[in-house]
Each structure stands twice: as structure tokens, then as C-alpha cells.
A and B are shown apart, each in its own frame.
Chain A
């Protein structure tokens, strides 16, 4: 195994593979900055170019691109409040308020360094788990997967803010998100729900226009109303000075970063869950990790831990995603389904062969994840002080470009003009939510998890009736879910008593 690990490294460092990885990274860097055309879409667009490459070159190119896109998505999220990737929306919640406070460089430093730690943990998890992954993945059937999504939905209590009123608003928004996820054709009966006679709605609402509208447009309006730059009146000296502070933050809260990375790996392994889920669950975990109610107050207003958690999970889930893809040929996400296509183009068959005959190729993927992220973070760290200066550009000059970013990004996700209207509509919803104090994060979490939860619930009932509720792992997950719901209330009560 150790020989294969070293062989994997030498394969990636060969000139052809390494230079193709750099090309992929450059592409992934640009694509990551744009909302909509995410890593998965770019993988699909680049798939035809790998026909003449060797397996190691192809995976260095594709994985280099994909992993960097996930990292750089955080940059636009923090600087402009526009989620660069569907996966990086949770970073907006605390990252952009930091940028508005003049701490863009610190937030970027924290996001990038935690991303690097997450990527290394994800790659290590992939390397270590290859021999033991089979029983782990097989343990999780539909009932367990349903309970994991319910546990994710239960995180709404952590994302809602404090006090009964905030909790009521948070739950209502979570329910609205779950309801929005039911739009479109119901998979079991084929009934069209809330389609209003529009073919566009048959497939349901897409995540990107919803996310971009709900998060980015209210920020753009805020910028227009303030009439200043993003960083407003923050002292110019603070802007670029925080990079090291952000890096130090990663190590100050190292165990939080490790735990959130593990959340990312775990969610990545589960089929269908995807990076958006990993980020929000990691964010909720970061909020729950606060020592007491007053320690939680800063979340949502620019707490660096709210950047570290999602940043770490964002990249660690890439390693987790690869585990079932390589070991079983079961892709954990849309991007991995496309990567599976690359396996077949290369004449490789995911499964036992990848863990024996082609083990060096498998480990070359592990190394690609690590090396691509190290290079990206080093390049970004060198340029962060300059990137942070963007927050000093006056609003009037930057606004049309932000609007372009929002609408071109929304369109490129599905090439549907109607997505532009959905973005505008959710922008208006996001604006009113902000204006009247309704939290946006629970809505997104509900929307992301809604479809998954419904699908797993129906498969569980169809397969096991209601006896699935008595399965041991399901019971454990029910208890954990109850703890997730009750914990914030207990914490609040304890801090009130203190």
C-alpha cells in the first residue's frame, strides 16, 4: 500500500500530469469565482478533452479543476456576498459581514486555510478508508440516509438565532424551504406539484438561482442603498492586514476545523447528499460548538468560526465523495457522476480493480486533491491583500459587474431564461426576509435537504414498511437528532441560569 502511495505521488509529479493539473486548476479558479457554472458543469464541459490523456493525466486535469473550483467559490462569497458555487453559500453568512467590516482578508485567509486543512483531511480519509469503506457504506440504507437528512434539517434550530421568536421564524423558513423542494414532479406517483402549468417547474426549482437570488441580491441592494464601497468606512489599513490573522484563526479553532472536515467527509460518502448539505451541516455544527448562548451571538454577523466550518467541509467532502465513486462506482454527487464517465472513457472500472490493480491511479487522485489545494492556497494567499482591496472600489462602479455575476451565473447553471426570473423573485424574497428579520439559512437548508428527505422516506417505507424505524442505527440517529434539536434550548437555558 505504501509503495502504491509513493507511486501515486510520482505519477502526479510527472511533467505531463503536473502541467495538465495546472491548466485544470487555472480553469477551476476562474469557474469557481462565477456562480452557476460550478465544478460539475465544468467537468462535463471538459470531459471531451480527456480522450487522448492517460488515466493519471485525465484525473489530474479534472480533479485539479474540480477541487480548486470548490476553494475559490469562497472568494466571491466573502468579497461580494455572491455564492461563487452552490457549495459555498454558507460562507456568505459570516464571511460577507466580515468583508463589510473591513476584514475581508482575514475571512479569506481563514476560508482558504481551513479549505486546505479540509482538503488534506478529505484526501487522508480517502487514502485510509479505501480498505474499510465497503462495510461502512453498506451500513447506510435508505432509512439511515433519511435519518441523516432529518438530522440535517434539525440543524435549523442552530441556524435560527436565539429566543422563541427567532426559533419560530427559523422553523417557518425551514418549512418553507422544504415546501419549495416539493415543487415539480413527484418521483413515486408522477403527480405534478405546484407547477402552475409551467413545463419549467416540472423538474423543480434549481438550487443556483434560488441561492444566488436569496443571498446575493439583498447584498447588492444593501450596497446600492449605502452608496459606499463594500467595506464602507472601514480603515484602509485593516483590509489587507488580516490574512495571517485568518490563518491563525484556523489553528486557534483547529478542532472545530477538523470536526467540520469530518462532517464534510461523512456527507461526501453518502450518495446524493452533495457539498451544499456538507457546508450547511458544518456551519450548523460550528454554531452548536459555541460555548454558550452569548458566544453564539456573533454568528450571522461575521464570526470567523462561521467561515472556518463551511470552508473546511467544502473541500474535505471531495475526498469523501470519491470514496463510493472509486470503491463501488456509486457517485456521491453530480460531479462524481460525471467523473465516473471519465473512468469509463479511460477504460477503468470503479470497484475492486481500483483498490488492487489500479491502486497507484487511485492514490494519484488523493495526491492531486492535496497538491492542487496546496498550490491554490499558496497562490491565493499571495494575492489576498490585493483581492481584499476590491472591497474599497466604490459601489457605483462595482454594482453592474455584481449584477452580471448574479444573472450570468444563474443562467449558466441550466441555460434557462426563466432562471433569471427565479433569481429576481428570490432576490425580492431575500430582501424582504432581511428587512423583516427572517433568517435565510434555514430556508436554504430545508430546500437543499427536502428532495432527498422525501425520496429516502418513500424508499424506506416501500422497502421496510414502518419497521425501518426500529433499525438500530436509525434509533441511534433519532436520538442524535433529538439532541441536535434540544441542545440550543438547553444551552440558552443554562446560560440564562448562569
Chain B
């Protein structure tokens, strides 16, 4: 019996449900009723599913390179969030588009600059000019 990815996911779900039930037991009945009503059957179903997954043959592995690409996309998403935190949306948007196109998609610098400028233009016109939508300016600017 081997803990496959699918079994691990089911087990993680069971752990979440178990925590929800444990936390709800300390609340007054009114606040605990709904989480307990949902959490207990979820715990049972998730444990049952874990047992099923442990008996089943593991889910076929993704095609070669898929895992690496998935991790790369998640890393880019995290990078964008860090950029937003540091520099704010108005700078992060064109910077992210340019960096992604050059470093990940291997596009030419000229095309990447043009597309980054277009992204900034649409963002600026729509959110800042038309909708007057307030965006965070980022940690760097708030320091100075």
C-alpha cells in the first residue's frame, strides 16, 4: 500500500475536516451547528475516499515535463504577487508582461516591449482614467 498523490489529497481533505470539527466543538451551539453538520460527514467521506485511493492503482503520472511547467507557472504567479506588493499594480503589470514574454516565452525584446506597453495602456486607461480605481502603490514607493 503506497500513499499516492490522490490518496494524499483525500487525506489532506480529511485533516481539514477533522480540524474544522475540532475547532467547532469549542464554539457555542449556534455557531458550531453548521460547521459540525458539514464537517463530520466530510471527514467520513474523505477518510472513506482515502481508503479507496490507497487500494486503487495510483493515478497515471502527468506527461514528462508537465510537473516542471506547472511549478514554473506557479512561480510566475508568486512573482507577480511579490511585484505587486513591492512596486504596486501600475508598475508590476508592464514589468511582469515584459519579463514573462522575454524570459519564459522567449519572445523578441521589441515585441515584448510593445505588448508590455499595451498592457500598461489598457490598465491605465481603463482603471485609472475611466474608472478612477484606486490601486496600492507598493511598499517601495511608500518608503520614500
Q: Which residues of B contact A396 (CB under 8 A)?
A: 101, 104-107
The stretch among A114-122, A181-189, A365-373 that forms the contact with chain B is A181-189
Shortest Cβ distance from A455 into B: residue:
B34
**Which of B42, B52, B73, B85 is close to A224, meaning CB atoms less than 8 Å apart?**
B73
User: Does A172 count as interface, using CB distance less than 8 angstroms?
Assistant: yes
User: Which residues of A, 135-179, contact B by the 8 Å Cβ criterion?
Assistant: 165, 168-169, 171-172, 175-176, 178-179
Please list the 3 inter-chain residue pairs (A to B) with the smallest Cβ-Cβ separation, ordered nearest first: A396-B105, A191-B31, A400-B100
Main secondary structure of the interface of B (DSSP, over half): helix
User: Does A464 count as interface, using CB distance less than 8 angstroms?
Assistant: no
User: Does B97 count as interface, using CB distance less than 8 angstroms?
Assistant: yes
**Which of A45, A169, A179, A432 is close to B49, meaning CB atoms less than 8 Å apart?**
A169
Contact with A along B72-101 (1 / 0, CB 8 A): 111011101100110001000100110011
User: Does A42 count as interface, using CB distance less than 8 angstroms?
Assistant: yes
A74 to B96, CA, bound (A): 26
Shortest Cβ distance from B105 into A: residue:
A396
Q: Which residues of B contact A424 (CB under 8 A)?
A: 74, 77-78, 81
A169 to B52, CA, bound (A): 11
Size of A's binding interface in residues, CB under 8 A:
56
User: Does A30 count as interface, using CB distance less than 8 angstroms?
Assistant: yes
A383 to B85, CA, bound (A): 38
A76 to B34, CA, bound (A): 35
Q: How far is the CB of B20 from chain A (nearest CB, A)?
A: 6
**Which of A165, A225, A438 is close to B52, meaning CB atoms less than 8 Å apart?**
A165
User: Does B129 count as interface, using CB distance less than 8 angstroms?
Assistant: no
A437 to B62, CA, bound (A): 13
Q: Is the CB of B119 within 8 A of A404?
A: yes
Q: Which residues of B contact A412 (CB under 8 A)?
A: 127, 133
Q: Give the one of A188, A407, A428 with max B CB within 10 A.
A: A407
A176 to B89, CA, bound (A): 33
Contact with A along B20-63 (1 / 0, CB 8 A): 10011001101100110011011001101100100000010011
User: Does B6 count as interface, using CB distance less than 8 angstroms?
Assistant: yes
Contact with B along A461-472 (1 / 0, CB 8 A): 000000000000
User: Does A253 count as interface, using CB distance less than 8 angstroms?
Assistant: no
Interface bracket on B: 35 or more
Q: How far is the CB of B34 from chain A (nearest CB, A)?
A: 5
Q: Which residues of B contact A225 (CB under 8 A)?
A: 62-63, 65-66, 69-70
User: Does B128 count as interface, using CB distance less than 8 angstroms?
Assistant: no
Shortest Cβ distance from A431 into B: residue:
B70
Shortest Cβ distance from B65 into A: residue:
A225
Q: Is the CB of B31 within 8 A of A188?
A: yes
**Which of A27, A175, A450, A454 is close to B45, meaning CB atoms less than 8 Å apart?**
A175
Q: Can you list 30 A-B contacts with CB-CB less than 8 angstroms, sorted by A residue number?
A: A30-B126, A42-B131, A168-B49, A169-B49, A175-B39, A178-B38, A179-B39, A186-B31, A189-B27, A189-B28, A191-B31, A217-B77, A220-B73, A225-B65, A225-B69, A227-B69, A396-B101, A396-B105, A397-B115, A400-B96, A403-B96, A404-B119, A417-B81, A417-B85, A424-B78, A428-B74, A435-B5, A436-B59, A437-B59, A453-B34
Shortest Cβ distance from B4 into A: residue:
A436
User: Does A399 count as interface, using CB distance less than 8 angstroms?
Assistant: yes
Q: Which residues of A contact B52 (CB under 8 A)?
A: 165
Q: Is the CB of A397 within 8 A of B105?
A: yes
Shortest Cβ distance from B46 into A: residue:
A172
User: Does A408 count as interface, using CB distance less than 8 angstroms?
Assistant: yes
Q: Which residues of B contact A421 (CB under 8 A)?
A: 81
Do A417 and B35 form a contact, CB below 8 Å, given A191-B27, A225-B70, A396-B104? no
User: Does A90 count as interface, using CB distance less than 8 angstroms?
Assistant: no
User: Does A420 count as interface, using CB distance less than 8 angstroms?
Assistant: yes
**Which of B41, B80, B84, B115 is close to A175, meaning CB atoms less than 8 Å apart?**
B41
A459 to B24, CA, bound (A): 21
User: Does A415 count as interface, using CB distance less than 8 angstroms?
Assistant: yes
**Extra pairs beyond A225-B66, A401-B119, A404-B93 (9, CB < 8 Å):** A27-B130, A172-B13, A175-B38, A399-B73, A400-B119, A404-B80, A407-B77, A407-B81, A408-B123
A417 to B106, CA, bound (A): 30
User: Does A221 count as interface, using CB distance less than 8 angstroms?
Assistant: yes
User: Does B132 count as interface, using CB distance less than 8 angstroms?
Assistant: yes
Do A45 and B131 form a contact, CB below 8 Å, given A193-B23, A224-B73, A417-B84? yes
Shortest Cβ distance from A182 into B: residue:
B35
User: Does B110 count as interface, using CB distance less than 8 angstroms?
Assistant: no
**Which of B28, B35, B96, B101 is close to A397, meaning CB atoms less than 8 Å apart?**
B101
Q: Which residues of A contact B76 (CB under 8 A)?
A: 403
A428 to B73, CA, bound (A): 11
Shortest Cβ distance from A420 into B: residue:
B81
Do A411 and B89 form a contact, CB below 8 Å, given A165-B52, A428-B74, A436-B59? yes
Q: Which residues of B contact A220 (CB under 8 A)?
A: 73
Q: Which residues of B contact A227 (CB under 8 A)?
A: 69
A400 to B100, CA, bound (A): 6
A170 to B135, CA, bound (A): 38
Q: How far is the CB of A169 from chain B (nearest CB, A)?
A: 7
Shortest Cβ distance from B68 into A: residue:
A225
Q: How far is the CB of B90 from chain A (nearest CB, A)?
A: 11
Q: How far is the CB of B97 from chain A (nearest CB, A)?
A: 5
Q: Is the CB of B42 within 8 A of A175?
A: yes
